Amino acid sequence: MNKTVSKVYIAGDHRGVGLKLYLIEMLTAAGYMVVNLGVDDPNVSADYPDVAQTLADAIGDDKNARGIAICGTGAGVMIAANRYRNLRASRCDRPEQARDDRFHDDINVLALAAADIDIEMAFLCVQTFLESPFDNIERRIRRIEKIS
């Protein structure tokens, strides 16, 4: 468990409910402070732009918080999340992507495709995302400042 991560906020649309609930269970068991931002009913339609806004509001200025956003394809929540200056989101399907995106781009939101990833692989991606450091060097900081 990464001790520098203050909280893990997790939100998803109706297509991501099952995956979200599984990840909450696994992350809680691993000792993370997890905040469920909904939705919890797969029969109640939710819009991925609302999921991203909920994450942006929850994370606020907490540099040590991380977010997990889930929709059917992962693309919708990723695009919507990147509209917010305090979020840097990437859709990852493999742990290596999550590691590299943290290292190079300091992503603070992991977008997952509920329809395209099995739950064990999703958890491996989440673990890697939460445990991977940012390569805090000048050129990477400069690039992030241009988008934040």
Enumerate the active-site residues. Answer: 71, 104
Residue in 105, 103, 122 with CA at minimum distance from that of residue 113: 122
**Cα–Cα distances in Å, from 99 out to 18, 25, 49, 103, 113?**
24, 22, 25, 6, 17
Residue 39 to residue 98: CA distance in whole angstroms: 24
Residue 96 to residue 73: CA distance in whole angstroms: 19
